[in-house]
Amino acid sequence: MITRALVGDAYTPVNANEVAYLPQALIEIDSSGRIDRVTPAADPSYAARLKAAEVQHLVEHLPADQVIWPGFVDLHVHAPQWPQAGLALDKPLAAWLNDYTFPLEAKYDDLAFAKRVYHELVHELLSQGTTTVLFFGTIHTAANLELARQCMQQGLRAAIGRVAMDNPDQTPDYYRDASAGEAVAATERFIHQLKELGAENPLAPLPVITPRFVPSCSDEALAGLGRLAHQYDLPIQTHVSESNWEHQYAIDRFGMHDAAVLDHFGLLTEKAVLAHGTQLAPKDQALLRERGSALAHCPISNAYFGNGVLPVQELLAAGNQVGLGTDISGGYSPSLYDNLRHAVALSQVRNDGVTTQDAGTAGSRISMTTAFYLATLGGAKALHLPVGQVQAGCLADLQVVSDRFTRPAESPQDRFERLMYQTTARELRQVIVHGETVIDHAG
């Protein structure tokens, strides 16, 4: 049964190199929160379908200066780090973790603190047009469940991982799992508690197996988490070859690259999402491709901590799955608009090099169309969710955006690119998740 219909100009990704423009499309949403049908204005059935919906008072005609496109999918957010977004980005990664990040994350044993931060974070992400998020939590199960409550209450589609970190050589004594056994057992308890909390809720967050990264985990913890991922058929998230330090750490400890270590412990699957990957060698890229594991490209964060630029164009051309992440708080901005712009900019830096002696890597540039794909359909494919497109059968997770500088003679493609560069949170008129408006500035 149709419960809502939007009429307006829409854009939707087709693939990494193509965006479809749907002028004055009729987008019908059913009671299950899915897009039942998208009817272009030129379709012979358009007038009749529009009239039928109007008779039932279901239609919202958008003004000419508004457009519709999919909600964004953020593949990498450290939820507890929101209070430090924009802090200490001039520090080396190890100092940033030990002096700022770990002390902050330890505070989430205070549930009141967690509730205050997570309420604000979820609202902020929705206000930026993000409708699906893959979250790292903390080691505190109660705080992670509070994050889940905030997502369900405010209408954010999410997957949440309880962070496992037990290696005493790389984690502080005040903030780590007591043992590998406890890391695995606590993760399993969290899986059951999250499923119970979200029972019967269409926006129930999905539990995610979450070893923080290889340096933070013992061999026993990595092996146990790999077994859990297969036992419960769950997504996995972690970092991979984020920096020179992490990449070399895996070599020194295991005699192999980060990706191979994860594979050894059963943590590279078609449901795995790996953040960063700036130091991946060609054989690592091939391994991820073979396993079907996706990469979360976090361009702002990588400019500070990644020691390199992910070869997005090369990866996509080879068939790797790639989406986009903000990496709060390694990335200072919760906006995927900011990150997709940085993705384009950094691809040009990679293409051209940074000095006259550095020739760069030709063919590295990506277009805004590709960046849009990363923020929508690329992320959706990584999470195996029917989101990221304005298309029949997809969940109705959408953004309605105002165009402050409408130019009548502009081509649809030019308008799309300009809006991708100019849109901020203040231009978002509505954010819709599961067919329901969760952010409303339409008035």
What is the predicted pLDDT for the residue at 253?
Answer: 97
d(CA 190, CA 205) in angstroms, rounded, equals 12
Instruction: Give me the chain's average pLDDT, please.
Output: 96
pTM above 0.75, yes or no: yes
Maximum Cα–Cα distance across the chain: 69
pLDDT for residue 201? 96
- In the DSSP assignment, the letter for residue 425 is G
- Which pLDDT score is estimated for 342? 97
Could you tell me which residues come within 8 angstroms of residue 237 by beta carbon, excluding any fewer than 6 positions away? Answer: 76, 134, 136, 159, 161, 208, 209, 210, 272, 273, 274, 275
Count the Cβ atoms, other than its own, within 10 Å of residue 411.
10
Query: Which tens digits make up the pLDDT trace of 329-371?
Result: 999 999 999 999 999 999 999 999 887 777 789 999 999 999 9
pLDDT at residue number 357: 76
All CATH 2.30.40.10 domain ranges in the chain, comma separated: 2-70+389-440
Edge-to-edge strand list for the sheet holding 321-324: 72-78, 130-136, 157-164, 206-211, 236-240, 272-276, 294-297, 321-324
* Cα-based angle 376, 377, 383 (whole degrees, multiple of 5): 100
Q: Could you tell me if residue 394 is left (phi over 0), alpha (psi between -120 and 50 degrees) or otherwise beta?
A: beta
For the record, the structure tokens of 429 come out as 């008129």
Q: What is the DSSP string of 253-270?
A: HHSS-HHHHHHHTT--ST
Task: Give the fold, CATH level 3, of 72-383.
Answer: TIM Barrel (3.20.20)
> Where does CATH 3.20.20.140 sit in the chain?
72-383
User: Which residues, other chains included, contact 176 with Cβ-Cβ below 8 Å and sequence gap of 6+?
Assistant: 139, 165, 166, 167, 168, 216
pLDDT of 402 reads 96
Which residues fall within 8 angstroms of residue 296, CB to CB, at 6 or more apart?
A: 75, 76, 134, 273, 274, 275, 276, 323, 324, 325, 327, 382
The parts of the chain modelled with pLDDT lower than 50 are none
Residue 92 confidence (pLDDT): 87
CATH placement of domain 2-70+389-440: 2.30.40.10
pLDDT (0 to 100) of residue 176:
97
User: CA 135, CA 167: separation in Å to the nearest integer?
Assistant: 22
Give per-residue burial for 227-256: e unless 16+ CB within 10 Å, then b: ebbeeeebbbbbbbbbbeebbebbeeeeee
Tell me, what's the pLDDT at 87?
92
Residue 160, token pair as written in the block = 């949440």
pLDDT at 443: 59
User: Is the previous residue joined to 31 through a cis bond, with omega within 30 degrees of 0?
Assistant: no
Distance CA 206, CA 320 (A): 24
